[in-house]
Structure formats: structure tokens, C-alpha cells
Structure 1
Amino acid sequence: MDLIRHLRFFVAVADERHFGRAAVALEMTQPPLSQGLRRLERHLGVDLIHRTRQGAVLTPAGLQLLPRARLLVDDAARLLAESQRIAHARGAVHWGATAALPDRVVTAGVTALRTMVGAGATVATTVDASVDLVVRVRGGLCDVAVIEHPALVEGVEVGPVVKLPRWLVAPADHRSALVERPNFPMLAGLAFAHAPRAANPPAFDTVVDLLRERGLDAPIVTVRDDRALLAAVAAGSAFGLTTAPPAATPGVSWLRMAPQAIALRVRVVRKHGADALADAVDRVLYRERLR
């Protein structure tokens, strides 16, 4: 749970005495604000706000905790501002990439950012789950990041969705790899190796729904990266999706199936004021799309 973010919700509602006005002040919609405040109340074990027809009223616990919450929110803002000042003073650019990106795109992103900000600048790269990258950009710890789409992108600025080529990999001795026109139902009996759902629930659910629409309801086995994915496939127990292009790999076959449907959808998210950095990374993605 992002405690500071949820405390910011509480402070905004307490200041505005109204959920709608607090949502406007936070530049978000009211439902996630209400849900976030309830999540905070469950986390703290106390009710903070009474919801009435006239608006939002602080509970006794809310009145006692508001000063401390306000201090934490203000201190977090000062901490982020100071960290950004230090980073900019050192000429550092911090960016992130989803682990689903191929290595060549990550290194191309680093090169593009170095070219833009100058050879003397430092480009720091974080490879992480999409949900964590959004948190880092929202908190100012990353200037820009490439995440999977769809994803919850509240509190950050977003770029257009780009489709990158992705392939289905299956065991080399599996029947799907031995026919001219494989289809999804042929993969029945294999597990679907994929990153954990927690890494990005919307994208995970989208790909599982796609498989079911194509007639395949496979059990899920979680893998951390492409290396673990290819190992599971070579073991003969799983299939999966990868952005790594076809290569001679013992025990693994690359299958060209529904390329548009299984393409990796990504987008750049950025903090306010990082438009130029985001544009540089966007150009890398568009070049990769045309490969």
C-alpha cells in the first residue's frame, strides 16, 4: 500500500470537506478517491471520515490523526523535491522499463536518453513491474518509464499505446510446433508461463481473456523473466509469450500465431515536465514497432 498517497487523499478530503472537490484538487475521479480512503481506514483500523449528504465530516480519530498525516504528506513532498534537486544537480536521468521489454529496447532507450541529455549525464535504469514503475514515476523517483498496457496510470502523464512484436514459444517436441498451422487449442495440456498477476493485473487479465476467447483455458505458472520462461518451455510443461525474436534455442520453438492479438502493448508514462525525455523514449518504441 502506498501510504503517503492514501494519506494525501485523507488530507485533501479533510481540507475540502467534500469528496468531489477533493477529487478535483487531486486531479482524479471520485470513485478511486473514495476507495483509496476506505483502504486507508482499513489499514489504520479506524474510521477517519463520516460520509454525509452535506459532505465529509472528520471523525474523532480523523481529527486526532490529521495533523500527523499532514506532516507526513508535506515531508514526503519536500523529500521528493530535494531528491529531484540533487538528481538534476548531478545531471542524472532516472527511467524505468517493464521486464517484458526486450533487452535491445532497454539499451536503445538508455542510448536515446544519453544522447538527449549529453554524454556527461548519468542515465539510471530500473527494470521492474508496471505497477511499481507507475508508483516510482508518480513519486518522482523516475522521470519516465515504459509500462505494459493496459495498466492503472492514475497520477502520471501518459503517451500513446505502441504495439511491439511478440511471439508464442512452445516445447520443440510439442504437436503445435510440428504442424504448419498451429492454433491455440493445440496448446491444451500445457501451462501458461507468465509474469505474476500482481506485476500488472489489467494486462494479465487481458492476455488470459484472449487465450480463453481463442478456446484455451490453461493453468498459470508464474515466471520472473524470459530466462525462466524459456526454461519452463524447454522442460516441456509450458508455453508463453516473449518479445525475444526467434533464435536457435534447444527445446524451444517460436510459433507465429495471431501476431496482432498477442502483440505487447506498451506506453510511456512520465512525471510533469518530462515531455522531452518521454518523446525520446517514444521514438525508440516506434522504431521497434517497425522492425
Structure 2
Amino acid sequence: MDLIRHLRFFVAVADERHFGRAAAALEMTQPPLSQGLRRLEQHLGVDLIHRTRQGAVLTSAGLALLPRARLLVDDAQRLLAESQRIAHSHGAVQWGATAALPDRMVTACVTALRTTVGKGAAVSTTVGATVDLVADVRAGLCDVAVIEHPALVDGVEAGPVVKVPRWLVVPSDHRIAVAERPTFPMLAGLAFVHPPRAANPPAFDTVVDLLRERGLDVPTVSARDDRALLAAVAAGASFGLTATPPSPTPGVTWLRMAPQAIALRVRVVRRPGADTHADAVDRVLYRERLR
């Protein structure tokens, strides 16, 4: 749980005494704000806000904890500012990429970022889950990150969405691998391999809904990255999606089906002041997506 982020929700609601106005102040929609505040209350074990028709009213626990919450949120902001100062003084770039981004695009982004910091400066890469990358950018631990879309991006600046080609990967001995006209319903009986839902709930739900729209309602199996995904597919009981281009892989067949629908949607998020780094990564995404 991102405690500082959820405390920021609490402070905003306490200041505005209204969920809608607090959401507007945080540049987000009201449902995730309300859900986040409930998660904070569950985590702390106390009710912080009474929800009424007139607005939001602090409980006795909320009144007692609000000063400490303000201190933590303010300290987090100061930590962010100090981390940015230190990073800039060393000329280093901290950036992150979703594990769904293919290797060629990760290395292309690193190469582009090197040009923004000059010779000898360090470029440090973190590959991880979208929710963690957004939290790192929000906290100042990353300057920029490439994340999956859709995702909750409150508290960070986000660029346009870019579509990256993605393929369906299936067991080589499955009937769909040799079908003249493969269809999604042919995948019935296989499990869908995908990063865990917790890595980015909106993107996970979107792709599951996409499969259901095409007549496929199957169980899901978690795989942390493409290596685990391809291993699960080669085992013969699963299929998945990958942005890694086709290559000779024992036990696995790549299929191009509904390319626009299954494309990997990504975007760049950045901390304030990291526009130069974000622009460099954006250019890579737009260039590499055409390959």
C-alpha cells in the first residue's frame, strides 16, 4: 500500500470537506479517491471520515490523526524535492519500464536517455509493475517511467498513449497453431497467462474483458515476465500476449490476431521538471512502435 499517497487523499478530503472537490484538487476522479480512503481506513483500523449528503465530516479519529498525516505528506514532498536536487547534482537519470515492454525498446530508451544527461552520467533502469513505477515517479525515486495503459496516474504527469504491436503466443501442438483461420474461441480449454492483476488492475481487467467480448472466458495464470509467460505456454496448457517479436522458440507459436485490439498500450509518466527525459523516451516509443 502506498501510505503517503493515501494520506494525501485523506488530507485533501479533510481540507475540502467534499469528495468531489478533493478529487478535482488532486486532478483525479472521485471513485478511486473514495476507494483509496476506504483502503486507508481499513489499513489503519479506524474511520477517518463520515460520508454525508452535505459532504465529508472528520471523525474523532480523523481529527486526532490529521496533524500527523499533514506532517508525513509535507515531509514526503520535501524528500521528493531533495531527491531531485541530489539526482540533478549528479547528472543521473532514474527511469523505469513495465515488464511488458520488449527488450529492444528498453535498451533504445536507455540509449536515448544517455543523450539527455551527457557523457559519463549514469542511467539507472528499474523494470517492474505499473503500480510500483507510478508510485516511484510520484515519490521522486524515478524521473520517468513507461507504464501500461490504462492505469491510475494521479500525482504524476502523463504523456500520450502509444500502441506497441503485440502477438498471441500459443502452444505449438495446439490446433490453433496450424489453423488456416484461427479464432479466439479455439483457445477454450487453455488458461490465459498474464502478469498478476495487482501489477495494474485497470489493464488486467481491460484485456480480460477483451477476451470475453470475443467469446472467451478462461481462467488466468500469473506470470511475472515474458520468460515465465513463454515457459507456461510451452508447457502446453496456456496462451498469452507478448510484445516480444516472433523468434524460433521450442514449443511456442506466435499468431497475429486482432492486432489493433490486443496491441500493448503504453505511456510515459514523469515527475515535474523531467520533460527533457520524458520527451526522449516518447520519441523512442513512437519510432519503435512502427518496427
What TM bracket, shorter-length normalisation? over 0.9
Q: Deviations over 1:114-167 (max 9, x none)?
A: 012212221111101111111111121111111111111112111111111111
Q: What residue in structure 2 maps to residue 148 of structure 1?
A: 148
Structure 1 residue 52: Cα displacement:
4.8
Identity of aligned residues (%): 85
The Cα shift of 1:95 comes to 0.9
Aligned pair count reads 291
Distance in 2 of aligned mates of 1:33 and 1:59: 18
Q: CA 1:286–1:120 in 2, change beyond 3 Å: closer, same or farther?
A: same
Q: Does the Cα contact within 8 Å between 2:167 and 2:256 map onto a contact in 1? A: yes
Query: Does residue 204 of structure 2 align to residue 222 of structure 1?
Result: no
Task: Specify the alignment match of 1:5 in structure 2.
Answer: 5
> Residue in 2 aligned with 1:194?
194
> Is the CA contact (8 Å cut-off) linking 2:130 and 2:148 kept in structure 1?
yes
Determine if contact 2:76/2:139 at 8 Å carries over to the other structure. Answer: no
How far apart in 1 are the matches of 2:53 and 2:206? 38
- What corresponds to 2:241 in structure 1? 241
The alignment's C-alpha RMSD in Å is 1.8
Deviation readout 1:57-116 (Å, 9 max, x if unpaired):
433222222222222222222222222211111111111100001001000000000012
Secondary structure, counterpart of 1:80 in structure 2: helix
Whether contact under 8 Å (2:193, 2:239) holds in the other structure is yes
Q: Distance in 1 between matches of 2:19 and 2:202?
A: 26
Question: Match of 1:39, SS?
Answer: helix
In 1, Cα distance between the equivalents of 2:46 and 2:190? 47
1:83 alignment partner in structure 2 = 83
Task: Quickly say closer, same or farther: Cα 1:34–1:246, change in 2 above 3 A.
Answer: closer
- CA distance 1:91–1:24, shift in 2 (3 Å): same
Residues 10 and 108 (structure 1), Cα distance of their counterparts in 2 relative to 1, 3 Å cut: same
Distance 1:168 1:26 in 2: 38
Unaligned segments of structure 2, at least 5 residues: none
**What is the Cα deviation at residue 37 of structure 1?**
2.6
- Structure 1 residues 124 and 237, CA, compared in 2 at 3 Å: closer, same or farther? same
2:129 aligned residue: 129
Residue in structure 1 matched with residue 176 of structure 2 by the alignment: 176
- Equivalent residue number for residue 36 of structure 2: 36
TM-score, normalised by the number of residues in structure 1: 0.93
In 2: Cα distance, 1:52 partner to 1:169 partner: 50
CA shift at 1:53, angstroms? 5.5
CA drift at 1:48: 2.3
- The aligned residue for residue 257 of structure 1 is 257
Supply the distance in 1 between the matched residues of 2:43 and 2:267 (Cα, whole angstroms): 32
Q: Distance in 1 between matches of 2:17 and 2:283?
A: 44
- Alignment match, 1:266: 266
- The farther-off stretch of 69-78 and 45-54 is 45-54
Structure 1 residues 138 and 187, CA gap change in structure 2 (3 angstroms):
same
Distance 1:166 1:280 in 2: 23
More divergent stretch after superposition (153-162 vs 13-22): 13-22
Q: 1:77 to 1:170 in 2, by over 3 A?
A: same
Runs of 5+ unmatched residues, structure 1: none
Q: Is the 8 A contact 2:149 2:265 kept in 1?
A: yes
Q: Secondary structure at the match of 1:119?
A: coil
Please tell me whether the aligned partners of residues 9 and 33 of structure 2 are also in contact (alpha carbons under 8 angstroms): yes
Helix, strand or coil for the counterpart of 1:65?
helix
Contact 2:27–2:154 at 8 Å: present in 1 too? no
Q: Which moved more, 1:191-200 or 1:48-57?
A: 48-57
The one-letter code matched in structure 1 to 2:89 is A
Cα deviation code 1:249-283 (max 9, x no counterpart): 11111112111111111111112222221111111
Question: Aligned letter for 1:44?
Answer: L
TM-score, normalised with respect to structure 2:
0.93
Q: Secondary structure at the match of 2:253?
A: strand
C-alpha separation between the residues in 2 aligned to 1:253 and 1:18? 53
SS at match of 1:284: helix
- Which residue of the partner structure matches residue 277 of structure 2? 277
**Aligned residue type for 1:147:** I
Distance in 2 separating the partners of 1:274 and 1:13:
29
Deviation string for 1:226-255 (max 9, x for gaps)?
A: 111111111111111111111111111111
